[in-house]
């Protein structure tokens, strides 16, 4: 069979398209594409400050990782200081405090993450059941307000409660006929104290996120469940919690990624340099701070920071892998 030739209409259309391109005249479809790109370009310009912020304050400082492998001194700078190999890591990994500070960091963070997630989800569910908008907004404000209070201010409040002689708790114990408790010399009590203070200050942030997720649940799910005869508890367990599961998993994975980082602001503000409490409150971050203050060696402290970052990366990958195994979907929460 012979070759098929294009029809006159097709040939004419191609000739007109070539003529438009040669003359610089844009077609309607090209104008639409350009219009869509211009709209997307505005979004890119809006995202530019955030991108620059992360590049300058998060990615560029990664170059400082080489300090962990150098005998750093301020006179020679980062690139002029002599290489030290892995000597800076020996300071931490051969320290007798390695197990104590690592255990305290992991133990306290597990308590913060586990109990904090449970309390935040439970509080969000209870607030979502309040029908009065004024009452709901009032409770949300009271719960979220402590999140904005500085840890220094929190430490002053805590001191008025825990002081041995003039503390509110010891005054109540004495009035009830009990002996006073010296909180500042009882390290066994401080994991519970830190958990309570952490919940009081940080629960409101998680509640706001979970409330937003609850608000986004389709009301038709509840309506269908009520038609099937489900009570309110069944609606919570069969509809609300499964719909919250992706949000809970994302927040858990992000929290697990920082499980090797202690809350330095909280612990140093509340405990300070009280050596009697180090056995249960000293974490990697406070240990690094004291080491830097004592020895002034940035190489050793940078090595510990690199160790924390690597362990956090491993933990977040492992957590996402576990989420993929527990999820019915083929992909994980983050990727």
Helix and strand totals (H; E) in the chain: 16, 0
What does the pLDDT read at residue 333?
A: 46
Q: What is the CATH number of the domain that holds 243?
A: 1.10.3720.10
- 133-161: pLDDT as tens digits: 888 889 988 999 999 999 999 999 999 99
37-41, 58-62, 105-109: least confident range: 37-41
pLDDT at residue 302 greater than cutoff 50: yes
Same domain, 299 and 165: yes
Burial 144-160 (b: 16+ CB within 10 A, else e): eebeeeebeebbeebee
139 and 21 part of one domain: no
Structural domains counted in the chain: 2
Highest mean pLDDT among 168-177, 192-201, 246-255: 192-201
pLDDT in the model for residue 258:
87
- For residues 51 and 184, state if they share a domain: no
> Is residue 271 in a domain?
yes
Which of 105-119, 205-219, 280-294, 321-335 is predicted most confidently? Answer: 105-119
Q: Are residues 183 and 120 in the same domain?
A: yes
Per-residue confidence (pLDDT) for residue 205, from 0 to 100: 92
252, 117 Cβ separation under 8 angstroms: yes
Predicted confidence at residue 300, as pLDDT, reads 86
Lowest mean pLDDT among 67-76, 156-165, 178-187, 211-220: 67-76
133-144 and 98-128 helices, crossing angle to 10°: 170
pTM of the model: 0.79
Instruction: Indicate the average pLDDT of the chain.
Output: 84
pLDDT at 332: 46
Do 159 and 27 lie in one domain? The reply is no
25: in domain: yes
Question: What's residue 172's pLDDT?
Answer: 92
Please tell me the predicted confidence (pLDDT) of residue 71.
86
51 with 99, same domain: the answer is no
For residue 81, tell me if it sits in a domain. no
| pLDDT band at residue 77 under the 50/70/90 scheme | confident
Exposed / middle / buried, residue 32 (Cβ in 10 Å: 0-12, 13-18, 19+): exposed
């Amino acid at each position: 069979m012979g070759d098929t030739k294009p029809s006159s209409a097709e040939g004419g259309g191609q000739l007109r398209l070539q003529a438009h391109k040669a003359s610089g005249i844009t077609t309607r479809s090209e104008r639409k594409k350009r219009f869509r790109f211009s709209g997307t370009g505005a979004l890119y310009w809006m995202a530019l400050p955030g991108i620059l912020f992360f590049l300058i304050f998060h990615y560029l400082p990664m170059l400082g990782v080489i300090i962990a492998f150098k005998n750093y001194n301020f006179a020679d700078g980062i690139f002029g200081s002599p290489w030290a190999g892995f000597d800076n890591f020996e300071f931490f990994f051969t320290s007798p405090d390695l197990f104590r500070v690592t255990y305290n960091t992991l133990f306290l963070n597990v308590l913060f993450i586990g109990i904090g997630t449970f309390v935040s989800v439970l509080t969000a569910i209870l607030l979502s059941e309040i029908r009065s908008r004024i009452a709901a907004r009032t409770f949300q404000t009271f719960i979220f307000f402590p999140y904005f209070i500085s840890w220094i201010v929190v430490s002053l409040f805590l001191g008025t409660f825990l002081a041995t002689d003039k503390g509110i708790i010891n005054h109540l114990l004495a009035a009830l006929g009990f002996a006073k408790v010296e909180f500042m010399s009882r390290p066994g009590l401080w994991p519970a104290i830190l958990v309570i203070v952490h919940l009081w200050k940080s629960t409101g942030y998680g509640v706001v996120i979970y409330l937003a997720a609850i608000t986004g649940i389709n009301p038709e799910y509840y309506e269908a469940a009520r038609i099937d005869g489900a009570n309110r508890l069944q609606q919570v367990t069969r509809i609300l919690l499964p719909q919250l599961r992706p949000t809970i998993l994302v927040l858990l994975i992000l929290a697990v990624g920082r499980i090797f980082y202690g809350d330095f602001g909280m612990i140093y503000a509340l405990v300070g340099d009280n050596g009697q409490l180090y056995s249960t409150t000293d974490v990697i971050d406070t240990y690094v701070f004291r080491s830097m203050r004592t020895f002034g060696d940035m190489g050793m402290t940078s090595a510990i920071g690199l160790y924390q970052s690597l362990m956090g990366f491993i933990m977040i990958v492992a957590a996402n892998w576990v989420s993929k195994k527990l999820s019915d979907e083929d992909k994980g929460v983050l990727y």
